Structure 1
């Protein structure tokens, strides 16, 4: 008997048993996976309001009254009833949990751009629950993709964002490029690759700059060999009246640097040279030529700069992460012959900040910004400082910001290694070997074999036969995949198995 007949009979029986006229409405519950006594129906009575569950298999055949009622062709929901009478219906609704509502909201927020009519027409998903299940799978894929993007960003992009890549070199790095095929120089805080320049002819007939002579400059700071006139570097601070012939130069404090190089490129020192006779020699010839070979900036470790200031009393300071060395300036104003005021071309505020006898801070950015001068004066003095005394930048490649991603990846690696170690220790068995719990269930041991030799098959079969499991509940199923003779065997695989088992075909 099908569900429709069973429902109709129950409705009819309830109507007959009712003491007063009644209209009964029932809702058939799903019976998936249930049969016989497992199937139940729920109905209600309008007068008493009680609910009863009718469980068990439907009768083999309906009563004559029920059969007559069913044969009329009127189904239960179409039975005439008095509209004035109330209808009582018991419906069991499952409450949707808060977690489910949140997950549904996340799913729709990730898949809203996929219209339901498209899934209905193209994907043939007519049921809403099927479409929702499909959306959940897509949402999971999107979440996994997003997680992978975040991980890639942390591994690759976050480091570049926190610590952008800079082309910088320490003086130790520059010193390593001192060969004919790899020649670097440092000048005024910048690094230049002059390898190609070594093969170019330059100099004057009376003084040719040979390749061997130029190799003396490779890997060195060449400021002492290429001095810049003060008026050229600071045109707003040194007037034409003070230096009409561009002959004012700083006194080099490091005498060793002067002895390192064979020639000093000063304007007017060689009349036979067209370039050195030009008062704009540095800006017209030196800078344009070096700009073709620029590699980056020189960087200095903060602790080293601080040591030069605090421990040795040198005029090394840091302004906005830029390193300045005023050793030559104070050597110039302290030179016995330089008593004129024109040699004090920098502001008194700058002299006072730098000449603190090691008592002040190495980073004088705040003091620099507190100097009471106009924007024009500030820019004029800054340009002069940058042209004459700039020696590089502070090396922050080893700071916490640049090493953050490395530390984070190291932390992830430590967490993973800890998990692996914990799982390994948890898998170790330090006590006696545990015996399996006796079981009455049957077990099938399947052994596929193809071209194995006799020793391997014997070892496998013996190991299965020796399992600590009841032989009455254990079945060994050996499958020989083809009548094949393996390499090194003198018999086919099925023949070897039969011989091992002692079976005579």
Structure 2
């Protein structure tokens, strides 16, 4: 606590009101090249007064309409290329640009072309293609007057088109593929022969049937039909089970092969007499096969074994043509020249030889209409194809599910313990090291605050300070994002933070320092105070830096002066570390931070090696930092990692209760599986650690978190497309992970289950809905970026890229897939026909996480939370997406 003799920390009001006089009195004390900081610096505050404040942005240009300095996307090297070695002044050649000033005094040399009109982005082209019917004039009539708003609307429609197409593909795969490739028969199939008999007799099912063109019809139905047509009456005890195909009108292509005296009456009489049928013909017209279309029928099938044995043991000669079985012996009198064909290809498939002769093909086409007795008992090619596709897709999904499960088990059983094994420095490592040298790396603990209350902020800072790590090697770095008073609080968040810190008054009193913020227009110019001191808690004393973003004088009456967002707070530290590492030109804010860090830790900021990023509502376990540092020391390829985030307020409401198991599964199943590949796709912003740089020996190093490519792209301030908004504004933490994987695909992003923290989750459904929709949008767009990185671990179906593709598709089609599954389950309950594949998928997807709990954590309480989660599946799978 502060002594009474110390001056009170500035409040939200005094921070802004004192900016102008402090700024004026401080300007003369700084030189362009200051020996106090030991590096070349630029007198930035003096430049503010003259209207020529410069920045170290790379290739900056101006958006004249918004008076915004635009950070263009840097020229990215190949992801597979070796990172360049760092060098002194590596970023000193960046082209500087002016900070935004009022339009009246800003001179623009050339108006830049709006990037929305520039080609090269396939996503923009696709969105314009699917909305080509909506011209800009029409969109203006619909209220979309801004080109940026028009492009965002086009991208939304384009995204909806993609989602609908994928859902339709899943629906077609579930319901339409089988119907299309293997259409259901409108009739049942009967076996031609009696399979239970040792003799080749007609099947018992044909006892009350008649056979017409390979199908079995009910005898009474056919007789009634012919009587109604006033054509003939078929009767007699021998009619049932007989083939009556020849009683019906022959097709036109049989005319060349018919005898001139072959009339319907004579043929009918001949066939009827041969079959022992008493047929009384009332007219010379033959019955038509079309009359039978509405009668119930059954397809007759024969196997190849039936055909061979039947031909060998009887006088009938059967051949197969186009999957149809023809009894050519029954038409020998009509087509006598087919006898050579019958004798040569009896009991075989004669399709190929028949197609080789035009005359033979014409005769056989007539033969198939007059002599067909059934069809080959075989599965159609379309049915085989549909079954193969469905089986393959099921195998792929089940393989992924089981692979994730067993790899997560492997990670927990064999990798997790080795990952955090204490890193001991043996005598061989320190033989040439001076006795005073301490190899323990310096770590920055970044806490970003916004509107959190005193209890939440104090709990977070206390937990970080009390971690099992040397206090002399820790730097607590707190950024207060604006002069904001939280709900239910009487003091602003900066006042709360400063009240918890023992401030150091041996250095000059803080003054507001300008820097270029991540914003547009006049909001790009922001100012902040830098305080230094120590945080004391339970015998621990940790060096502390507090940066308060207070805004400019124009924001004095604004609701949230200085507020620029969490990404801007992160960039304050990342830009500072990048400039310190490369000995680049610094802002006044950077110089102030460097002075205070060197005073507190007695080191240059370039010696800081790790950054732990924590939200202000997160409590870190005392051993978490130690486990994270051990993982970094044990594997130099790790560039980022996260621990397990648990819920502090799990029993506060039903909204918090349904999130408990979802958090657990996402870490111990999802992130554990991704850690096998070394590619955790999302390090949560509430609790994650990044490596600032990696030493390559002989004074050489590779920048990681502060790599210029990452710093430049992560600090993009002009967001014009919906894709950019989802990456930079809705999910900046996931985008930072994406940038790390994209720039360093051969390095690792890991999950450390031993490092645990507790955080507060939304306790109201409307807040949860808003949060998850932001996360889902961010997830989709980040996965779209990651899927293009070919250098990720693995090949083809066994690669991280393929896993990302399936995760992207699964995220998009989740509501539709669950809907289809529920429909199939309901259909099973109603019809009694078991849908085996969807039931197995649902069983494995829902059951394996429960088995994972038993085999890994052995915390039976999570079984109960899993039951709560299953009851809330409609919320997770329908409402939230």
TM-score norm. by structure 2 comes to 0.31
Give yes or no for the alignment of 1:144 onto 2:163: yes
Aligned to 2:128: 108
Partner SS, residue 355 of structure 1 = helix
Deviation at 1:352, TM superposition (A): 0.6
Aligned to 1:430: 413
Cα contact 1:317–1:363 (8 A) shared by 2: yes
Deviation at 1:197, TM superposition (A): 7.1
In the TM superposition, 1:13-412 aligns within 5 A as 29-30=68-69, 75-77=104-106, 101-123=121-143, 125-167=144-186, 169-172=188-191, 175=203, 184-194=209-219, 221-223=241-243, 228=247, 237-240=258-261, 248-249=270-271, 264-267=276-279, 275=280, 278=282, 280=284, 283=286, 293-295=295-297, 297-301=299-303, 304-305=306-307, 308=310, 315-328=317-330, 343=333, 345-348=334-337, 350-356=338-344, 358=346, 362-371=348-357, 373=359, 381=363, 385-386=367-368, 388-396=370-378, 398-412=379-393
Q: Distance in 1 between matches of 2:401 and 2:307?
A: 45
Aligned to 2:396: 415
Aligned-CA RMSD value: 6.0
Cα contact 2:234–2:278 (8 A) shared by 1: no
Cα contact 1:231–1:239 (8 A) shared by 2: no
Deviations 1:239-266 (CA, angstroms, capped at 9, x unpaired): 43999966645997xxxxx8xxxxx214
Deviation at 1:306, TM superposition (A): 5.5
Cα contact 1:319–1:364 (8 A) shared by 2: yes
Cα contact 1:227–1:249 (8 A) shared by 2: yes
Q: Distance in 1 between matches of 2:249 and 2:51?
A: 112
Higher relative contact order (CA 8 A, sep 6+): 2
Distance 1:76 1:184, change over 3 A: same
Q: Distance in 2 between matches of 1:98 and 1:26?
A: 14
Distance 1:75 1:121, change over 3 A: same
Distance 1:178 1:446, change over 3 A: same
Deviation at 1:118, TM superposition (A): 3.2
Cα contact 2:211–2:373 (8 A) shared by 1: no
Cα contact 1:185–1:192 (8 A) shared by 2: yes
Which one of the candidate residues 4, 7, 10 is aligned to 2:50? Answer: 10
Q: Distance in 1 between matches of 2:270 and 2:95?
A: 112
Q: Larger % of helix: which?
A: 2
Deviation at 1:392, TM superposition (A): 2.8
Unmatched 5+ residue regions in structure 1? 15-24, 33-49, 59-69, 79-86, 203-207, 253-257, 259-263, 268-274, 331-342, 452-467, 480-505
Deviations 1:343-395 (CA, angstroms, capped at 9, x unpaired): 5x4242x111101275xx8222343344464xxx976x557635642213344
Cα contact 2:188–2:299 (8 A) shared by 1: yes
Q: Distance in 2 between matches of 1:288 and 1:175?
A: 26
Aligned to 2:804: none
Cα contact 1:299–1:394 (8 A) shared by 2: yes
Deviations 1:75-109 (CA, angstroms, capped at 9, x unpaired): 4358xxxxxxxx978x9999999996111111111
Q: Distance in 2 between matches of 1:115 and 1:323?
A: 62
Cα contact 2:131–2:154 (8 A) shared by 1: yes
Q: Distance in 1 between matches of 2:214 and 2:758?
A: 83
Distance 1:421 1:26, change over 3 A: closer
Deviations 1:174-220 (CA, angstroms, capped at 9, x unpaired): 957579xxx65433422224566799999xxxxx999xx97x97xx6
Partner SS, residue 413 of structure 2 = coil
Deviation at 1:302, TM superposition (A): 5.0
Deviations 1:440-497 (CA, angstroms, capped at 9, x unpaired): 463693364589xxxxxxxxxxxxxxxx999xx99999x9xxxxxxxxxxxxxxxxxx
Unmatched 5+ residue regions in structure 2? 1-18, 21-44, 55-61, 72-93, 193-201, 228-232, 421-462, 466-617, 621-646, 655-753, 764-881
Partner SS, residue 293 of structure 1 = coil
Distance 1:266 1:292, change over 3 A: farther
Deviation at 1:295, TM superposition (A): 2.6
Deviation at 1:135, TM superposition (A): 1.4
Find the structure with the greater CA-based Rg: 1
